[in-house]
A and B are shown apart, each in its own frame.
Chain A
Amino acid sequence: MSNLGEKILVVEDDTQIRNFICYSLHSEGYQYLTANTGQGAMNSLVSEQIDLMLLDLGLPDFDGIEVIKKVREWSEMPIIIVSARDQDKEKAAALDLGADDYLTKPFSATELLARIRVSLRHLYKQGGNKQQTCVQIGNLKIEHDKHLVFLNDTELHMTPMEYTLLTLLFKNAGKVLTTSYIIKEIWGVGYGNDTQALRALMAGLRRKIETNPAKPRYIMTEIGVGYRLVND
């Protein structure tokens, strides 16, 4: 996939991982800037035109979450978090605060580049065209104007809730959505954090679109964080 030479800011304090990320970005033709502290990141963010930020949550000077909060005050740029495995809480918090995606160390270059592609695609979609009337991922197709869902060209019967959930996932295809975000989108703000209802809804949806709900083809579970609809 070709890209437009987007400028990516890499905020990571470990040299080796930073080098590895930069090399991967370079080989794909992205431009990049680096920062190894939160302060450095803020400086680059105000002085440069940045298209996407890769942000390590464990920075030496201040919490990565603070960086996200500040950036979201003025910019909608995609932010991908890089975190250690035992930082689930921080990860979920960062995603709820507006980070777009996350990578857990150790990650592979392929994973990294795939996430960057997805996030950039969303950026362009947001800025440009309106919602498409018909979206297809694999053999799963949604026709928005008719509120119809097809799997292998057979129409599926969906409850309104399931349909809302599926369109929400389609809109954010490839992105991880936290459970609390999904609950808020579907049931509204006052609903609290009843994950059980979401799990039940998700189980129902999966039984309709997946051949084996425990080996999902479309909706992947990000345990402890949320769900992700595979992109292609």
Chain B
Amino acid sequence: MTTQQNSKVIAGLKYSLLMIVLLFLASIIGYLFRMIGFPETNIVIVYLLAVLLTASKTKGYIYGVLASVIATFAFNYFFTEPYYTFAVYDPSYIVTFIIMTITALITSTLTSHVKKSAVEAKEKESETKALYMLSNHLTDAAEIHDIAGIAVSIISSVMNCKGACLCFDENGMPEKTFVQQVSPDKQIRRNVANTEDIKHQTEGLRTGYSIGTEFYDWLIYGRDNILGIIRIPTDRAALMTEAQTRLLRAMIESIALAMDRFRSAEQRIKYREETVQERYRGNLLRAISHDLRTPLSGIMGTSEMLMDMSKQNDPRYKLAEEIHNDANWLHSLVENILSLTRLQEGRLTLNKQSEAVEEIVGGAVHHIVQRSPDHEIIINIPDELLLVPMDAKLIEQVLINLLDNAIRHTSPKNEISVTVVKDEEHNCAVFTVADTGEGIAQTDLPNIFQMFYTSRAKHADAQHGIGLGLAICDAIVKAHGGNIEAHNRPDGQGAEFIFTLPMEVTEIE
């Protein structure tokens, strides 16, 4: 603070001295003119010249105004009769004094004004230059920290300080280190004392800056979140003029733009990579599944042939049967993986048509009964025809999976039921598959529709379930705009899976 005041005082002294010297010179020249015998008007002109020079060489209006007043009095004192007094004999000199003062004032203000405009223009130019330099360099940045580095070096050179920049990560959290310019061509990385503190500090600040012990922190706002902080050392920041603050803000704006652009490009690349990866994964899974499917059909057929060739009491019949069952299980697993990859890729276009619920339920039950003839499945459907828009194959798959699940958890003498009702209020069809098995463990309930989730409540059963069936149901029902949930039956033993399919009001008369 004191240095600033000192420099002001020194500048004031310098300008005052300059003014005095110029006026003194003008007086001497005036003296010479009088000795030579030039008219007094020339002396007035010389004084005006001195005022003009003063105004142009000093800063602000004050010296020019002061010089014009002093010049008038000096002229009065030295060059009008009676000499060396402020009195005048000839009243016409009064007019001379007034005009001279006015002329001197106008000249000095005009000069000062021109000077001020020149200074402003120069400031503007350097601002533009700095901004241009900044955005020019920022386009070369290949990484978010490059942007920070460039920003720091340009801001530091413009502001003539040791500026710094702290980047925030994608989640809007401050990074652990920040970059600081320590000399014109050297940058260092410093650790952040407490990222939480900084995060806390930035919250609730929409404009302006926060003042810390070492730095003033200016926030870099992106489109969605805070991208970083520009830090200006406290001593320099306190001295910043209006113009410099404005420049800094403009620079921060272009840094924010560059960072934003970079972030969104990064995001795009990430998404693209993810989709490519996802596609590779899907392709691989599908290729494997496809290649497994055909030989599995062969194994199933051949083992069936072996069963036909041997008698039921032959131990070889049992062996062949087991081969058949295992192959069958593997086959359904492969089919499930295929369905799921197709569903997940979102490439599955629903082939929605109005389907009769009875046909779909009937088809699914028929399929299940063929595989597990011991189970009795009770079907309750509305008497009137219920047409629901759906992809028949997929909803059949949902029902098959749910029934399959029910059968695995229910002993043959217990009852399994499929119920469909129309929910007029929500305009949807409600499908319920209920069993009378052991029910679902509480720990499993929240995760039951997750992929590859298998019950942890029971001992691991290699033969049964790898946790895809219900995940597929979930995906299919959701794709139809419906909802699926599982819970234990309130009225007693067993579990209940309920899913809904919207009916989509089509009011065609």
Verify A16–B299 contact, CB threshold 8 A.
yes
Residues of B close to A15: CB separation below 8 A: 298
Residues of A close to B396: CB separation below 8 A: 223
Q: Which of A1-9, A30-38, A81-89, A149-157 contacts B (4 or more CB under 8 A)?
A: A81-89
Residues from 181 to 232 in A contacting B, C-beta threshold 8 Å: 195-196, 199-200, 202-204, 206, 212-216, 220-224
Quote the shortest CB–CB distance from A221 to chain B (angstroms).
Answer: 4
Nearest chain-B residue to A227 (Cβ)? B359
A139 contacts partner chain B, Cβ-Cβ < 8 Å: no
With A20-B298, A84-B293, A220-B366 as given contacts, are A106 and B305 in contact (CB-CB < 8 Å)? no
Residues of B close to A17: CB separation below 8 A: 294, 297-298, 301
Residues from 24 to 53 in A contacting B, C-beta threshold 8 Å: 24, 27
Tell me if B's interface is mostly helix, strand, loop or mixed.
helix
How far is B359's CA from A222's CA once the two chains are assembled, in angstroms? 9
Nearest chain-A residue to B367 (Cβ)? A223
How far is B354's CA from A196's CA once the two chains are assembled, in angstroms? 6
Nearest chain-B residue to A20 (Cβ)? B301
Residues of A close to B331: CB separation below 8 A: 106
The answer, among A19, A24, A199, for a CB contact under 8 Å with B355, is A199
Quote the shortest CB–CB distance from B101 to chain A (angstroms).
Answer: 102
Contact with A along B355-377 (1 / 0, CB 8 A): 11011111101100000000000
Quote the shortest CB–CB distance from A123 to chain B (angstroms).
Answer: 25
Contact with A along B303-314 (1 / 0, CB 8 A): 011001000000
Verify B308–A109 contact, CB threshold 8 A.
yes
Q: Which of A23, A84, A204, A223 has the most CB of B within 10 A?
A: A223
Total chain A interface residues with beta-carbon distance under 8 A: 37
A126 contacts partner chain B, Cβ-Cβ < 8 Å: no
How far is B293's CA from A88's CA once the two chains are assembled, in angstroms? 16
Verify A199–B359 contact, CB threshold 8 A.
yes
Residues of B close to A24: CB separation below 8 A: 305
How far is B238's CA from A112's CA once the two chains are assembled, in angstroms? 91
How far is B338's CA from A84's CA once the two chains are assembled, in angstroms? 12
Quote the shortest CB–CB distance from B295 to chain A (angstroms).
Answer: 6
Verify A223–B360 contact, CB threshold 8 A.
yes
Residues from 77 to 107 in A contacting B, C-beta threshold 8 Å: 84-86, 88, 105-107
How far is B390's CA from A223's CA once the two chains are assembled, in angstroms? 12
Residues of A close to B338: CB separation below 8 A: 86
A164 contacts partner chain B, Cβ-Cβ < 8 Å: no
With A105-B294, A223-B396 as given contacts, are A19 and B302 in contact (CB-CB < 8 Å)? yes
A21 contacts partner chain B, Cβ-Cβ < 8 Å: yes
Verify A221–B387 contact, CB threshold 8 A.
no
Verify B392–A224 contact, CB threshold 8 A.
yes
A76 contacts partner chain B, Cβ-Cβ < 8 Å: no
Quote the shortest CB–CB distance from A5 to chain B (angstroms).
Answer: 20
With A214-B362, A214-B365 as given contacts, are A106 and B301 in contact (CB-CB < 8 Å)? yes
A14 contacts partner chain B, Cβ-Cβ < 8 Å: yes
The answer, among B293, B295, B393, for a CB contact under 8 Å with A16, is B295
Contact size range, B? 35 or more
Residues of A close to B360: CB separation below 8 A: 221, 223
How far is B386's CA from A213's CA once the two chains are assembled, in angstroms? 12
Q: Which of A23, A108, A203, A221 has the most CB of B within 10 A?
A: A221
Residues of A close to B354: CB separation below 8 A: 195-196, 199
Verify B358–A213 contact, CB threshold 8 A.
yes
The answer, among A14, A109, A199, A202, for a CB contact under 8 Å with B304, is A109
Verify B304–A203 contact, CB threshold 8 A.
no
How far is B328's CA from A202's CA once the two chains are assembled, in angstroms? 33
B335 contacts partner chain A, Cβ-Cβ < 8 Å: yes
Residues of B close to A19: CB separation below 8 A: 298, 302
How far is B208's CA from A8's CA once the two chains are assembled, in angstroms? 87
Nearest chain-A residue to B389 (Cβ)? A196
B457 contacts partner chain A, Cβ-Cβ < 8 Å: no
Verify B359–A16 contact, CB threshold 8 A.
no
Residues of B close to A88: CB separation below 8 A: 393
How far is B306's CA from A19's CA once the two chains are assembled, in angstroms? 12
How far is B358's CA from A204's CA once the two chains are assembled, in angstroms? 12
Residues of A close to B392: CB separation below 8 A: 223-224
Quote the shortest CB–CB distance from B355 to chain A (angstroms).
Answer: 7
Verify B304–A223 contact, CB threshold 8 A.
no
With A17-B301, A105-B297 as given contacts, are A215 and B385 in contact (CB-CB < 8 Å)? no
Quote the shortest CB–CB distance from B396 to chain A (angstroms).
Answer: 5
Q: Can you name 14 extra interface pairs (CB under 8 A) apart from A17-B298, A224-B392? A: A14-B294, A15-B298, A16-B302, A17-B294, A20-B298, A24-B305, A88-B393, A106-B300, A108-B301, A109-B304, A199-B354, A199-B355, A214-B381, A224-B393
**Complex A-B: 25 CB contacts under 8 Å:** A15-B298, A16-B298, A16-B299, A16-B302, A17-B294, A17-B297, A17-B298, A17-B301, A21-B301, A85-B335, A86-B338, A106-B301, A107-B297, A108-B304, A196-B387, A199-B359, A199-B387, A200-B356, A202-B356, A202-B359, A206-B358, A220-B362, A221-B359, A221-B360, A223-B360
7 residue pairs, one from A and one from B, having the closest CB atoms: A16-B298, A20-B301, A106-B297, A203-B385, A221-B359, A105-B297, A214-B379
Which residues of B does A touch, CB under 8 Å? 293-302, 304-305, 308, 327-328, 331, 335, 338, 353-356, 358-363, 365-366, 379, 381, 385, 387, 392-393, 396
